[in-house]
Amino acid sequence: MVIKNVELEIVCGVTSKIPDTELPEVAFAGKSNVGKSSLINGLMNRKSLARTSSQPGKTQTINFYNINKFMYLVDLPGYGYAKVSENEKKKWGKMIENYLHTSKQLKAVFLLIDIRHEPSANDKMMYEWIVYQGYDPIIVATKLDKIKRSQIQKSVKMVKEGLNVKPGTKIIPYSALTKQGRDEIWELMDELVGY
């Protein structure tokens, strides 16, 4: 998709109702600091529309970006930020669960995992949540530029095994610096939203 128009149209807080939108939605989940804002900005060709983590985990909202009046890119709150209270974590979980459960327009969920590290317990839980809600998560392995080319295959395998992904699960390595992987993600999104 050629990005012509992007607008942060809906911001959904803990107490807000999940909006009943008219356009197909694609959502992005990942633990805080994984590179979700950088990926979303990269996909939308914006430098800083999605928040970057100066205050990780602070803003617990679901943000709906309207792209070309054709689809929504949905930014789910980053999870796993240590300094957030148990109560906040619970609220966060309810919000994501509620969104995955309620959205009628959600076509797919992308789950971001840092390519350098083994998936955490929270990552695994998120993966299973998405599956439980009936979606096949698409994995984006972020910060690709931080590993050597010779390590890519091994790291991808580590992520796959760590999450215990279903056979056939797509995993796309991405770098916010080089934008490697961007075209592949967009091809997939175009297909998902029927562009």
| Contacting positions for ligand GDP (CB under 6 A) | 30, 32-38, 52-53, 56, 78, 142-143, 145-146, 175-177
For residues 21 and 32, which CB has a smaller minimum distance to ligand GDP in the complex? 32
CB of 20 to ligand GDP, least distance (A): 27
CB of 63 to ligand GDP, least distance (A): 11
CB of 194 to ligand GDP, least distance (A): 28
CB of 77 to ligand GDP, least distance (A): 10
For residues 54 and 85, which CB has a smaller minimum distance to ligand GDP in the complex? 54
The owner of tokens 């890119």 is: 73
- DSSP character at residue 145: G
Q: Which amino acid is at 44?
A: M
Q: Assign 144 to helix, strand or coil.
A: helix
- What's the count of helices (H) and strands (E) in the chain, helices before strands? 5, 7
For residues 34 and 96, which CB has a smaller minimum distance to ligand GDP in the complex? 34
For residues 21 and 37, which CB has a smaller minimum distance to ligand GDP in the complex? 37
Query: CA angle 81-180-47, nearest 5°?
Result: 60
C-alpha closest to that of 19 among 92, 74, 79, 94: 74
Contact 105, 135 (CB under 8 A): no
